[in-house]
Structure 1
């Protein structure tokens, strides 16, 4: 809500908007293409390294691995994940937050199980932390600092771990890099000295600050952790990385490399996997390990150990984390806030687990079954057509699971049914396909977890209505390329011939795999072409009169008066499938902005938020939710968005409001003075407004001329006769002459009320608006309303501590020194006269630079010049 003396918003577009638009449009394709290029390079490197290795040798090495080695590897894995939880514990100590240990352990384990498998730890694991730590009482800014601390701590730990490994294993690594061992050891010593200097800096100076500008009042600060915490975190990193390396070392054949030399090679491989940004570093990690340790270990046995390591260190924790969260569905604790927050994360893990199961099925389809499996199939007299069909259909089911995983991430009920059906069918097909017990166990586990978590997939949407993003399409292309490479590796001893396509016999495994891969390749091509060529959603249209009436009825039946902004008619509407809830939104450039979030039936809100995000994505836009209340933040955090604080909203408790008492002496004096000067107050109903419009228009024009401003829109009221005649209007007269007015936003619930458009004549007595507001509150109090909203004060309430997030520190500077752009402090002071309660308001958007561009586009929307062209 604008103050009487507020200045117009600066709605100038950012000069980088065009470049940002182009980058956002092409970024998925560029990054996806880079990923495909990495897949090709890794495949070429692996083909060179495995020239003399046969698929049967690798599988033989896997089967001959002693059970004791597996147990030792599992123990090392458990130690590694237990140590990983200490990253979060250290980060929470760094920001000074207290969270129960159980919550920290659960959050960290789930976050790392997810991020280790699909990669992009700050994003995938960060979304889990944002949701669970928010429920534990942390603010979004604090959680962002936890994520940042974890990222930096892991990188520094990797640096220390790699430097120690390089210092010890330089003679082993030097020939691989064609560099002198002494030079590598010198580099390692330099890195360790740099880390020592960092720790010393932590001990001597807690904050690094850079100051500039007039009188050096602009500054950016970085608070370093205490030296003790920094040393403890380096020790935690060393233990965790050593344990994860031991999980692989325990699986290697007897007489392997010395442990320290192996850990040096392991550090190099992990670093390369992280730099690649391929999910889980699949292929990159294996290629570097084979290149580094291949001269010292049998290649087939090393590759077998790497496959087991993938299963034990990546897949098994993901299964356990999924089961742990799904188990909350069966516990009474799920009714508690933390239990509900944990349960709401299960779709993320089940989507990741579905991806793993789909990949497993696709790879299984292009590889032969074992000799033991052949003997069992012969002994059971399994018909050959059943074997052929199960092999073919199992691969198709794998492709289906890869596609359905996206729907699970978005909690679609259709995706749940599809995933459940595909997992059960594929589990049954695993038996005639080749007695694939491990494959069947994973699929049955997935099916059980899906059944238990059924309530989390409550979005009634169609899978065919979903648009697959470029990342998903290019990811499918990468899976096909990797499967093709595995096919050639598994059957390198089989010479290609046209007869292979028509060879149907028990031992004809190469033809069987070739047909399966061809089927999923054709289906993937058809899916990709359909997604790329299908028509986009229709052009956006203004809501019809029937839609406006339906939305207005939902607002009137609810408690939130802010929904009356829809009556301005400058926003689009998105209804839920049932029509019992809606949200209003505008579009500027690539930003799709929902104002205040959903209204109507609360249980439909999560689905409606997802609908809006997908609608924006279908048009190549970025979603944003403007002026979100703190209680509604989980709706957006569950969708992977981040929240930044915009300011604070002022609201007055009407049952407690009074002009009596010393605290409101100035306000009482202003009201009394106004009455002595002949001011009178009245509220006219909507049907009486049309007759007053000419006089109201004259007051509005005079006010705009005095302010040297122009009409705004979207989240700020404007003088529009069609809008004004739908709401009551409060009037102030002086000796019978109209001098000020404000329209009232009211609902039938009588829970909240507010004013929107308020204008006064330049010659109105001083204190007229104070008189108007006080009289409005007393009038609404008599009508039984509970709260009166004074609107948001931008950038108010930003944290003033050194540990505050950078956005809040920047906002605090703008609030203090930005009066030349906007009367931030004057607006706050005006509202403070009424002693309101202040509640934070947020902007929910994707990460990166999206908040910057979203805020610029929102400023244009509010400025009254939205871009209505179709993107």
Structure 2
């Protein structure tokens, strides 16, 4: 709509000649440094474990594992359940404090357990729990800012509980550590006790920032129990007598978990085990400690993770139970949202399993069976199983992008892996696991329908880090199991049933070659040239007609390109500015069929060196864009008035009745001109438009706002206002949807002599007319930078934008625009900008502003025409 500002006009003084400079390149590299660091920390931890555990054989580890009986496992499993229950309860308490809508205690606990399990095992990696948390929030109408507050609160409460528990344990039962004398441990415990009480005392000193004291104390107790039972889980797994008290051991475990969490390594893999080994190495035999820690990793981390995956799948299916009444179509749609993501996890897991198996020795009890086969057959099966594992890991990225070729190759590789697992060592357990994964993959066949090439998009840095980490862990396991074999060059060429180390070296080389070939193929892949395809206007007209958003009419402005789905059911309208390829609004047409379209658009943009940006997207698009790796930032809120219940009766509409009465007393008239009449009277409307532009010293906008173009204006009806003499003094063209879902206005132009309040009266008349015509909603457009939180826990972007909203009146009338639209009692809905990384936000906003204003020079120049 015409009076709305562009995306950055609020952030840039009108007197400035240029916008803020784009962030330097070193910031982008700094953002990637975090992933590199946790990979490095994980590698160092595994190297340390290799040195600590190098003094025993695999038989010693098997003997230690055999000592862990059913009683130990049952007790440890019970402690694990209580710990995760407390962790999930922290999220529920945070939701209650912030006033999030409750969907039931057990459902809230289940949702928070799923998020906790994903976050604890995957952390901030590619498959972490961030998108799951946002998906749950979007379903219940919770904003991304509120999600951030709840996460920050529960995380802060968790660490406060950790500090307090450590203080209690160090004061009452200090562990006998060589590097920490008892007196020093108790002194540290006193300090930690004082720090841990900051949460309840903070609630008294800063009641607007902290929760009330009762809730703060309850949260602190729950957090302490979470950490306590996490430590007791490990204590329950130690077989036989243990020289250290349970509370001293819990202190060691809790401190080690803190160290692992601070490194940001997903699941603390390697770091947790190394920290506990360093603390208890002089007290517990290395095989016993290794067996206990391996069991702890499986029981406390991987088992809840598997349960969370199952619960997530069941939840997505149960949410769509009502679809059974319509033939099960919506149930399949719900499964289609979950199945592809689970398939990616299964393929990564299957590939990693094959790599681990290829790098570990053959079971002694099965060598007799394997000896019945020809040795070359066994050696080839072992080598090709490692190739199949590496290939599955590489193909997971194509599977995430729904490539059909990737699915076929994954099915073939997993089936081949099952056969190779049997022939290389009669690993029937591994074959069963791979068979289950293969069945799950086959059931997802219909969701991998894209016909794009495997290499249409280069791997991101995050994917390369993930792939490198999986290969690195598998290689470390191989070197660890073969550490007693002295290395010789001859090992590479030795072929015998007993030479497990030789087979490991060859398998490692084969897997490394697969990764190397994939990298070289991506580096040498030529970028496709940019080809601006002609617009298929009949297809565009079809998707615009089936869209329920009135702003789809911007497609006819003539300043956009279009990317349409292969079946013509949906499309995107976008334009290039600088290095940004910016999509305007939500998907046009059937958004349910847009997954393939969005992936294709993103890949083509990145292939051509462009930055994909989604501008003014709604909450409905948030989960899908988050799953595709985008970060969303709130731009403001859009006002929509329900026309089905719109009326001028009642006390709430008193001011609107007064505005309409003034309109009528001034003998002003309101009428709707059809499109053909608009074409006849175009010169009259253009004269009003030119006068308005000159009066306001403004230039025409574009992209997200309409402009007075003859071909564009002829397409729409207009609402016009005439004075007592019949002269037209104001007009606005109307955006309509064929489904009558939404009605809106675009240009709002009037003569200088038009009376005050004429546009407000015009709005009222259009809404009354829309109500009579059967439209459901009237869209008042955006209020930029409104509705952003100023809470101390709010994200930095919200604080900056909210500050501009409240103090930037010299740049633009933000609060006045919000107040004007509030007169009509609208429903406010958030709108976002989606970018691939946080560092891309300033440049994306700058490019969007220039695109709306007609270019950098026109937007930020000293004069506008």
Selected match of 2:501 from 496, 507, 510? 510
2:472 is the counterpart of 1:472: no
Contact residue 23 and residue 839 of structure 2 kept, 8 A: no
Query: CA–CA distance in 1 between the matches of 2:23 and 2:556?
Result: 35
Shift of 1:169: 6.1
Selected match of 1:243 from 225, 229, 232? 229
SS of residue in 2 equivalent to 1:18:
coil
Please identify, of 262-271 and 601-610, the stretch whose mean Cα deviation from structure 2 is larger. 601-610
Shift of 1:612: 4.2
Contact residue 582 and residue 614 of structure 2 kept, 8 A: yes
Please identify, of 43-52 and 468-477, the stretch whose mean Cα deviation from structure 2 is larger. 43-52
Query: CA–CA distance in 1 between the matches of 2:175 and 2:763?
Result: 80
Structure 2 vs 1, CA of residues 69 and 113 (structure 1 numbering), >3 Å: closer, same or farther?
same
Selected match of 1:49 from 39, 44, 52? 52
Query: CA–CA distance in 1 between the matches of 2:31 and 2:8?
Result: 37
* Partner residue, 1:296: 283
* Partner residue, 1:219: none
Structure 2 vs 1, CA of residues 596 and 301 (structure 1 numbering), >3 Å: closer, same or farther?
same
Contact residue 648 and residue 840 of structure 1 kept, 8 A: yes
* Partner residue, 2:553: 564
Cα deviation 1:486-535 (Å, max 9, x = unaligned):
33322223333443333333222222111111111011011112223323
Cα deviation 1:448-484 (Å, max 9, x = unaligned):
4445566766766554434311122233233334333
Structure 2 vs 1, CA of residues 783 and 235 (structure 1 numbering), >3 Å: closer, same or farther?
closer
Shift of 1:807: 6.4
Task: Show the 5 A alignment for 1:772-787.
Answer: 772-774=762-764, 776-777=766-767, 785-787=775-777
2:95 is the counterpart of 1:92: yes
Query: CA–CA distance in 2 between the matches of 1:544 and 1:616?
Result: 17
Structure 2 unaligned regions, length at least 5: 324-329, 859-865
Query: CA–CA distance in 1 between the matches of 2:4 and 2:565?
Result: 38
Query: CA–CA distance in 1 between the matches of 2:827 and 2:210?
Result: 35
* Partner residue, 1:220: none
Cα deviation 1:173-192 (Å, max 9, x = unaligned):
352xxx65534432331121
Query: CA–CA distance in 1 between the matches of 2:404 and 2:59?
Result: 41
Structure 2 vs 1, CA of residues 448 and 770 (structure 1 numbering), >3 Å: closer, same or farther?
same
* Partner residue, 2:202: 201
2:6 is the counterpart of 1:3: no
* Partner residue, 2:638: 649
Cα deviation 1:137-191 (Å, max 9, x = unaligned):
534333322222222122222323333444456563352xxx6553443233112
Query: CA–CA distance in 2 between the matches of 1:86 and 1:118?
Result: 20
2:115 is the counterpart of 1:111: yes
Structure 2 vs 1, CA of residues 341 and 292 (structure 1 numbering), >3 Å: closer, same or farther?
farther
Contact residue 659 and residue 757 of structure 2 kept, 8 A: no
Query: CA–CA distance in 2 between the matches of 1:198 and 1:449?
Result: 46
Q: TM-score, normalised by structure 2?
A: 0.86
SS of residue in 1 equivalent to 2:616:
strand
Query: CA–CA distance in 2 between the matches of 1:526 and 1:254?
Result: 50
Please identify, of 96-105 and 248-257, the stretch whose mean Cα deviation from structure 2 is larger. 248-257
Task: Show the 5 A alignment for 1:645-794.
Answer: 645-654=634-643, 663=654, 664-674=656-666, 676=667, 681=671, 683-685=673-675, 689=679, 696-732=685-721, 735=725, 737-770=727-760, 772-774=762-764, 776-777=766-767, 785-794=775-784
* Partner residue, 2:357: 364
Selected match of 1:489 from 480, 486, 489? 480
Contact residue 158 and residue 267 of structure 1 kept, 8 A: yes
Contact residue 799 and residue 809 of structure 1 kept, 8 A: yes
Query: CA–CA distance in 1 between the matches of 2:394 and 2:837?
Result: 25
* Partner residue, 1:102: 106
Query: CA–CA distance in 2 between the matches of 1:88 and 1:805?
Result: 18
Number of corresponding residues: 842
* Partner residue, 1:157: 161
Structure 2 vs 1, CA of residues 804 and 608 (structure 1 numbering), >3 Å: closer, same or farther?
same
Shift of 1:798: 5.7
Selected match of 1:224 from 196, 210, 214? 210
Query: CA–CA distance in 2 between the matches of 1:499 and 1:464?
Result: 38
Shift of 1:281: 1.8
Shift of 1:565: 0.9
Query: CA–CA distance in 1 between the matches of 2:390 and 2:104?
Result: 41
Query: CA–CA distance in 2 between the matches of 1:618 and 1:27?
Result: 23
Task: Show the 5 A alignment for 1:807-826.
Answer: 814-826=804-816
Shift of 1:638: 4.6
* Partner residue, 1:216: none
Query: CA–CA distance in 2 between the matches of 1:538 and 1:270?
Result: 50
Selected match of 2:387 from 388, 396, 399? 396
Please identify, of 795-804 and 423-432, the stretch whose mean Cα deviation from structure 2 is larger. 795-804
Q: TM-score, normalised by structure 1?
A: 0.86
Selected match of 2:853 from 863, 867, 870? 863
Structure 1 unaligned regions, length at least 5: 208-222
Task: Show the 5 A alignment for 1:445-456.
Answer: 445-450=436-441
Contact residue 555 and residue 561 of structure 1 kept, 8 A: no
Please identify, of 803-812 and 558-567, the stretch whose mean Cα deviation from structure 2 is larger. 803-812
Task: Show the 5 A alignment for 1:158-557.
Answer: 158-167=162-171, 170=174, 172-175=176-179, 181-207=182-208, 223-256=209-242, 257-327=244-314, 334-335=321-322, 344-345=337-338, 347-348=340-341, 350-378=343-371, 381-410=372-401, 415-450=406-441, 462-539=453-530, 541=532, 544-546=534-536, 548-557=537-546
